[in-house]
Amino acid sequence: MRIVLVYAVVAGAWILASDILSREMTVNPNLLTAVAIAKGALFVVVTSALLFVQIRGDLAHLQVSGDRLRESEHRFRRVIDLSPVPMTTSDASGNVTLTNEAFVKVLGYSREDIPTVSEWYSAAFPDPEYRRGITYAWDRESERSRQTGDAFAPLEAKVRCKDGTERTMLVSSASLGAASSERVVAFFDITEREQAEEAILRSNERLEQVLRSVIALIGKVIEARDPYTQGHEEGVARISRLIAEEMGLPADEVDGIEVAGLVHDVGKLGVPAEILTKPGKLTDAEYALIKEHSQRGHDILRDIDFDWPVAGIVLQHHERMDGSGYPDGLLGDEISMAARILMAADVIEAMAAHRPYRPALGLDAAMAEIAEHPEKYDPRVVSACVRLHEAGRIEV
């Protein structure tokens, strides 16, 4: 554009000035012709010289710009190459144009190993189904990023290294700029973090197993002091779990109710063994001592950091919906759902099993007890118990 402008200005000025000069100098036609020829030749020479100077300047400027662009690209590629994060670049045709040193070190592949993106996918994700899933997720995120202008959200992927090992990577991508068709892909290695998380999970599982073993041991200690109730803690825990599952409670709540069932009578450790095993009817004083076991159990368990409110469930498991229970005579919604489940399971297991002061009453009698006293037991819990009994799933 600048060349055209210079040419127009020079040509216009030349024509105007030369015509005025010719008229002033002579009126001889032959001389005018000679002047016109000379004027044209001189115009060509002058404009050619000016255009040459202008074009040479523009070419020099383009060369400088090109040198700067090449230098900038070189610096950028050097930065990528020296980055501790594994990176690759690829062009619009799917050719891998760069694999940096960290990429080669961590994943083992050089650009010669994966000349194209498709070959890289085949090497990194050898399982066809997994590869299709990664490809779909990558394409979908690329399209979302392109349409919204938002950054590419990293994708987690299991990447097969050249040596056959597997690394867990967060993979992200970005364009090298509007003027470039290339994209850079960065790989953030989270293998160690994932392994640490798995180790913590395994440790938690072991701790949970130890906790359950300790809880089961507590139940056995309780039963050892009262051989007539052997298996009662485990039976109540099993029935409680069945009821909670039948009611559709969340899995975590179900686990907590089961744990509470395993230790619900831990407070009986404070009751003399001769009272627990007494074959005849208890005196009022002895029964009052027995009734303290809910509070004693709560006091024993309250300082243990369970994932569930086990101490509170144990405290309430002898309450009744009409307020006739103990130790606090709670009514209706004052009693937690977990305790309502545990109270029903406790009654079912206790009535269906043998006791020193009476023979086993049987499961049908136990079910009749809770079904015929709707004022004492939560109707949703009773309905779940009835369904389980009719399906033959409650055993004592």
Over residues 314-338, the pLDDT tens digits come to 999 999 999 999 999 999 999 999 9
Residue type present at position 296: R
What is the pLDDT, as a whole number, of residue 40? 61
Average pLDDT over residues 95-99: 87
Distance of alpha carbon 257 from alpha carbon 30, whole angstroms: 122
Q: What is the dihedral sign for C-alpha 23, 29, 34, 39?
A: positive
CATH 1.10.3210.10 location in the chain: 195-390
Instruction: Give the domain 85-189 fold.
Output: Beta-Lactamase (3.30.450)
> Could you give the CA distance from residue 294 to residue 265 in angstroms, rounded to a whole number?
7
pLDDT of residue 19: 58
Residue 250 pLDDT: 95
Give the pLDDT mean for 189-216.
83
pLDDT of residue 165: 93
Among 19-23, 154-158, 238-242, 260-264, name the one with the lowest average pLDDT: 19-23
Binning pLDDT at 50, 70 and 90, where does residue 61 land?
Answer: low
Beta carbons of 260 and 240 less than 8 angstroms apart:
yes
Ranges for all domains in the chain classified under CATH 3.30.450.20: 85-189
Q: Could you tell me the two tokens for 86?
A: 């594994």
As a 3-state breakdown, the chain gives helix, strand, coil percent values, each rounded to 5, of: 65, 10, 25
Q: Which residue has the higher pLDDT, 283 or 77?
A: 283
Q: 195-390: which CATH architecture?
A: Orthogonal Bundle (1.10)
Share of the chain above pLDDT 70, in %: 75
Q: Please, which pLDDT band fits residue 297 given cuts at 50, 70 and 90?
A: very high
Q: What's the gap between Cα 15 and its chain centre?
A: 78
Instruction: Quote the DSSP letter at residue 227.
Output: G
* Averaged pLDDT score across all residues of the chain: 82
Distance, in Å, from the CA atom of 98 to the CA atom of 111, rounded to the nearest integer, reads 6
Please write down the HEC assignment for all residues of 278-309: CCCCCCHHHHHHHHCHHHHHHHHHCCCCCCCC
pLDDT tens digit string along 104-141? 999 999 989 989 988 989 999 999 999 999 999 999 99
d(CA 349, CA 395): 9
Rounded to two decimals, what is the model's pTM?
0.57
Answer whether residue 145 shows pLDDT above 80.
yes
